Amino acid sequence: MEVTSIQSFVNYYKKVRETTNTVIRVIPREYLEFSYKEGKFTIADLLRHIAAIERHLFAEIIQGNKPTYTGCGKELAEDYDDIMNYLNTTHRETLDIINRLEDADLQKKIKPVSGTEIKLSSFLRALTVHEIHHRATLCIYLNMLGITTPPILGLTAEQVITISNKP
């Protein structure tokens, strides 16, 4: 996706989050502390990470500030309701920050944590890629638990195969 206007990016990013939320809605609360391996993110950690990175890394750098990300531990939000509130609050705050930008800002060079200058438009695209990456991880975790995840693009692979094989 080429980011050419703030409004088109915000509209796209809202759709990315809506899709993430469809996955989140199928997470059984009793599995929030599930991880595939000791020392790796739990489902709750992944949700807090999506929220914390969005607000405390991406949104801060967008504003020209140093990142304030300190991790994704339980101190941010522990139970399901608190995690969802944290996720929604940080998302609203980030959207408010992005909505203050002007289209011309998309061409400005910024220095993310890597230190390599990039256009703000590319950095915004990275924000969506980051969320999609962790949404996929959530889907894998849920599949490992035997929980059916919603189709991301409207149909499952099996439904596409069925449609493709109809005469």
HEC per residue, 99-126: HCCCHHHHHCEECCCCCCCEEHHHHHHH
Please state the rounded mean pLDDT for residues 118-142.
97
pLDDT score of 163 more than 90: no
Judged by DSSP in three states, 152 sits in: coil
Residues 54 and 130: their CA atoms lie apart, in Å, by 9
pTM for the model stands at 0.92
Q: Which of 139, 107, 138, 100 is nearest to 122 (CA)?
A: 107
Counting Cβ atoms within 10 Å, is residue 162 exposed (0-12), middle (13-18) or buried (19+)?
exposed
Domain ranges of the chain: 6-164
pLDDT score of 49 more than 80: yes
Residue 14 confidence class, pLDDT cut points 50, 70, 90: very high
Q: Are 60 and 97 in contact (CB under 8 A)?
A: no
Lowest-confidence pick of 87-91, 113-117, 138-142, 160-164:
160-164
Q: What is the pLDDT of residue 9?
A: 97
Please state the rounded mean pLDDT for residues 102-111.
96
Query: Is domain 6-164 given the CATH code 1.10.357.10 in the classification?
Result: no
pLDDT score of 143 more than 90: yes
Residues 162 and 13: their CA atoms lie apart, in Å, by 31
